[in-house]
Structure 1
Amino acid sequence: MAVRGFLCQNIAIGCAFGGFGVAAGEIKSQFDVSTGMASMGLAFAVLMMGLVSPIFARMIGSVGLRRTMLTGIVLSGLGYVVLAFAPSIYVVLAAYGLFVGVGIAMFGSFPCSVLASNWFQPNPGAALGFVNMPVMVALVPMMGIFLIERYGLSTFYLVMAGLHILLLPFALGVADRPEGAARAGDDAQGSTAHAMISSRAILGRPIFWIVVLGAGGLSAAGIIGVSHLVSFAIEKHIPPAQAAFLLSVMGAAAALGSLLVGVLCGKIGAVNTLALMGAALAGSWFVLLGTSLYPLMICATLIIGACGAGIFPAVNVLGARVFGVDALARVLGLFTLYTLPMNFLLPPAAGVLRDATASYEPVVGVLIAGSGAIAAMFVLLGRVMARQDAVREKVAV
C-alpha cells in the first residue's frame, strides 16, 4: 500500500508541479502572455484542489480510496491530453484547473496520506514521509526539457498522459486499511461509513487556523519556488539548462526531505519540525538572493526542496495528533480548502510583482521575511502545546 501511494502521489505531483516548471516558459511564448498569466495554470490547479478536497474527503468515506483515486487518475490524464492540443491560454488554464487540479485532489498527496495513515498506525510518520517523496518532481523537469526542445510541448503533455495510463493497474490494488482493522459497517471495497468529527468542531479550534496560516504560507512559498525558480536563476545569468537542473535538484532533495521530515516528526514533534523548516527556508532564500555562485545555489536549492516536500507530511502528523486519525481526511480536506487564498493568489502575485519591479529581488525578500515569521510562530505554538501537555499530565497524576 505504501508503494501504491508513493506511485500515485509521484505521478500526480511530479507531472503537475515538476512539469509546469519547465512548461511555463513555453506556455508564455507559445500563447504570447505575461509571466503572471503563464503562472496562473498551476495556480488554477491548486485552486481546484482546495475547493474540491472537502468533497472528496466525504467521497473517500462513502466509496473508498480505490474508486476515488482511480477516478482522479483518469480525470488528470485527460487533462494532459487537453493541454497537448489546447488552442488558447484559456483552454490551458481550464485544463489545469478542471482536470489536473481536480484529479490531483482525488489521487495525489491528500488521499495517499490518508492511505498511509490508515495502514501504519500508531506511528505513521516514516510511512507518510515515504509516500510523499516527490521523486518525479526531480525527473520530470529533465525529461520535459528534452521532450520540449526536440518534440515540442504537445509531446511532453502526451507523455505525461501516458504515465497516468501506466499507473492504473497499481491503483486497482488500493484498499483503505488492513482487513483486520476494518470497522463495523465497512464494505468489501474498504470504504467507511463511520462518523467523523464535525467540520464546525475542527474550525472552532484556534490551532487549526494557526496551522492553516503557518503551514499554508510555507506551502505557498514552495509553489512560488517551483513556479519561478527557473526564471529567477536565468535572471541571475544562469544558463537555461543549469537553471532547469536546479529545479531537478529541488525535486531530488524533496524526495529525501519528505522521508527525513517524517522521521523528524516522530523524534521532535510536528510543530518543532515545521518551525525548523520555516527557518531553513528563510536562510536558503537569503543565500539564493545574495549569490550567483552555482554550487551555493545548488546547496540552497537542496534545502528548499527538502523543506517544501515535508510540509504536508508534518501537517498530517500534527492533524492526527490534535484531531485524531479518524478525522484526518476531513482535517486535510479543510486544510487544503482554507489555504487556497495563499496557494492560489501568491504564486501569480509573485509573477506580477516581478513584472512590476523588473526583478525577482522583492519576491525573494518577501519569501525570506514570511518564512522567518512563520518559523517564530511555530516555535511559540510548540511552547504552548508543551505547557498544555504538562498540565494534562499533572491532572492525570
Structure 2
Amino acid sequence: MEGLSHFQRHNDPQFKNTGDRMKETPYAWVVVWATFVCLALIFGVSYSFAAFFEPFAAEFSAQRAEVSWIFGLSGFVYFVLGAGGGMLADRFGPRVVCSAGMALIALGLLATSWATSLLAVYLSYGLLVGLGIALVYTPSIASVQPWFTTRRGLAGGIASSGVGAGTLLVPVLVAMAIGPMPWREAMRALALGVLVLGLLAAALLRRAPATNGPGMSAGAGGLASGLTLRETLCTPTFRWLYLATVLASPVMFIPFAHVSASARDLGLTEALAVGLVGLIGVGSLVGRFAIGLVADRLGRAQTLVLMQLSMGASYLLWGAASGHALLALFALWFGLSYGSIVSLLPALCMDYFGGKSVASVVGTLYSGAALGNLLGPVLAGAVFDFSGHYLGVMAVCLVLSLCATWASRQMKASGQTRY
C-alpha cells in the first residue's frame, strides 16, 4: 500500500472520496464554533490596528508609511509562518498549537503596551503577535474541513465568519476604550481578553476522528485520502491558486490599514473612521455565511473567480467617495468580496488536494499573501506621503484584482475536484 503513487490513490475506488464514508458527528459543529471564536479574536486583534494607528503616530512622531510597517510586518509573519503552524498542527493537533499561539498574542500585546519606541512596537506587535496568529490561523481553519463531507462550504463559511465578527466588534470596542483610557491600558485589556477567551476556544479544537492521532487517518491501510504537501506543490492547480493569492493579497489588506486614515482626511470623526473597518467586518460576515451556500451549488472555483472580480470593482467606490456614504458602501462591498475569498480557500484545498496534509497545504497557500500584506499597506502609505492621495494605489489594486481573477480562471480550468 505504501508504494502506491498519488495517481493510483486518486483513481482507486478504495481511496477516492474516503471522506464520504466518514459520518459527520455533532462535535464537528463544536469545532466550527470554536474556530469561529479563535478567528474572531486573532483578526480582531490584527484589524484593531486601525484604532491604534493615530495613537502610534502621535506617540512616536511617525509618518503613515512608518506606522503601516507594524500592520504589514505582523501580516507578513503570520502568512510566512502559517505553513509551519499547519505542519505543527498536522503533527501535534490544533488544540496544542492554537493554545500556544493565543498565549504568544497576549504576550505580544502586553509587551506593546510597554513599548517606548516604534522599533519596540515592530518587535512586539509586528513579530510576536504575528507569530501567535500564525500558530492559530491555519491550524484552526484547517481543522474544520476534515470533519465534513457534503457541507464543507457551509461549515467553512460559518467558521471563517469569525474573521468578520472580530473585524466588526474588536476595533470598534478598542476605539471606544481608547477614549476614556490611554491606548496602553486598552491594549492590556485586549491582551487579557485574548488570553482568557482564546485559551477556552482553543481547548475545544480536535482532529476529526478519521485523522485522530499521529499517522492515523482515513483510507484503507491507514493511508490518508489526499496528496502530501510535496505532491500538492507539483500540481498546476495549486500553482495557479497560489498565484491568485499573491496577486490578490495587496488588494485585500490595504483597506484595513488605510481606509480609516482616508476617512479622517475627508473630515470624518474618529468613530466613523474606525467604524469603516467594522463595516468591512459586516460585509465579511455576510459574505462568509452566504457564499458557503452559494458555492456548494455554483461551485467553489467559479465562485472564487466572481469574488476576485468583485473585490477589485469595489475599489471604484473608494476612489469616487467624498463622504461617509460611499465609503460605507465600499467597506460593505469590499468586506463581502474579501470575506468570500478567504472562506473559499480552505474548502478549495480540501476539494482538490484532500485531507492528508490539509493544514500544511492551507498554510503554504496563505504564505502567498505574505509579501502583499507586508508591502501593500507600507507602499500605500508611502504613496500617500508623497502624493497626498490614494488614487494611484486604487488604480494599481484594480489591475491586480483583474490579474487575480485571470489566475483563478486558470486554476479552475487546470483540474477537477477529487475529494
> Is residue 71 from structure 1 mapped to residue 92 from structure 2 by the alignment?
no
Q: Distance in 2 between matches of 1:281 and 1:317?
A: 19
Which residue of 117, 141, 144 maps to 1:116? Answer: 144
2:227, 2:310 → 1: CA distance? 34
Match of 2:10 in 1: none
Aligned residue among 341, 352, 356 for 1:326? 356
Deviation at 1:230, TM superposition (A): 0.4
Give how far 1:286 is off.
0.3
Matched to 1:112, the amino acid is S
1:253 aligns with 2:283: yes
- Larger mean CA deviation between 73-82 and 200-209 belongs to 200-209
For residue 4 of structure 1, the aligned residue among 34, 44, 50 is 34
Q: Are 1:215 and 1:274, in contact at CA under 8 Å, matched by a contact in 2? A: no
Indicate whether 1:23 and 2:68 are aligned.
no
Q: So what's the TM-score if we normalise by structure 1?
A: 0.89
- Distance (whole Å) between structure 2 residues aligned to residue 193 and residue 156 of structure 1: 49
Comparing 208-217 with 159-168, greater Cα deviation is found at: 208-217
Give, in whole Å, the separation in 2 of the partners of 1:94 and 1:196.
38
How far residue 196 of structure 1 moved from its aligned partner, in angstroms, is 7.3
Q: Distance between the aligned counterparts of 2:363 and 2:214, measured in 1? A: 24
1:91–1:28 Cα change, 3 Å: same
Aligned with 1:32 (options 30, 48, 61): 61
Q: Output the CA distance in 1 between the equivalents of 2:214 and 2:373.
A: 38
* Identity fraction in percent: 22
Residues 295 and 360 from structure 1, CA distance in 2 versus in 1: closer, same or farther, beyond 3 angstroms?
same
Q: Deviations 1:131-177 (Å, cap 9, x if unpaired)?
A: 11120211112212211122121112111111112222232232111
Query: Counterpart in 2 of 1:50?
Result: 79
Moved more, 43-52 or 213-222: 213-222
* Equivalence for 2:205: 174
AA of the residue aligned to 2:51: V
Alignment partner of 1:289 out of 306, 319, 326: 319
1:234-383 correspondence to structure 2 within 5 Å: 234-382=264-412
Tell me by how many angstroms 1:84 deviates: 0.9
Can you list the C-alpha shifts for 1:48-92, whole angstroms capped at 9, x where unaligned? 112322222221122111111111111111111011111111111
1:210 corresponds to = 240
Conserved? CA contact 2:251–2:312, under 8 Å: no
Supply the distance in 1 between the matched residues of 2:146 and 2:228 (Cα, whole angstroms): 19
CA contact (8 A) 1:62 1:193 kept: no
AA of the residue aligned to 1:355: D
Cα displacement (A) at 1:262:
2.1
Mapped partners of 2:226, 2:402: distance in 1: 35
Does the 8 Å CA contact 1:59/1:68 hold for their aligned counterparts? Answer: yes
Query: Secondary structure of 2:287's match?
Result: helix
Distance of aligned partners of 1:202 and 1:80 in 2 relative to their CA distance in 1, 3 Å threshold: same
Taking a change above 3 Å as real, the CA distance of residues 77 and 6 of structure 1, as seen in their structure-2 partners, is: same
Is residue 130 of structure 1 aligned with residue 161 of structure 2? no
Corresponding residue SS for 1:83:
helix
Q: Which runs of 5+ in 2 are unaligned?
A: 1-30
Change (3 A) 1:44 1:80: same
Give the whole-Å Cα distance in 1 for the aligned partners of 2:127 and 2:86: 18
Q: Is the 8 A contact 1:281 1:303 kept in 2?
A: yes
Contact 2:352 2:416 in 1 (8 A): no
Kept in 2: contact 1:66–1:172 (CA 8 A): yes
Q: Which deviates more, 141-150 or 71-80? A: 141-150
| Cα offset, 1:266, TM superposition | 1.2
Distance in 1, Cα, partners of 2:323 & 2:366: 37
SS at match of 1:33: coil
Deviation at 1:105, TM superposition (A): 1.1
Q: Which runs of 5+ in 1 are unaligned?
A: 393-397
For residues 77-122 of structure 1, give each alpha carbon's deviation from its aligned partner in whole angstroms, at most 9, with x where no partner exists.
11110111111111111112332111111112x2221111122224
What corresponds to 2:24 in structure 1? none
- The offset of 1:195, in angstroms, is 10
Query: How high is the TM-score relative to the length of structure 2?
Result: 0.85
Distance 2:228 2:201 in 1: 33
Secondary structure at the counterpart of residue 357 of structure 2: helix
CA 22–65 in structure 1, closer or farther in 2 if over 3 Å, else same:
same
Alignment length (residue pairs): 381
Q: SS in structure 2 opposite 1:332? A: helix
Task: Show the counterpart of 1:395.
Answer: none
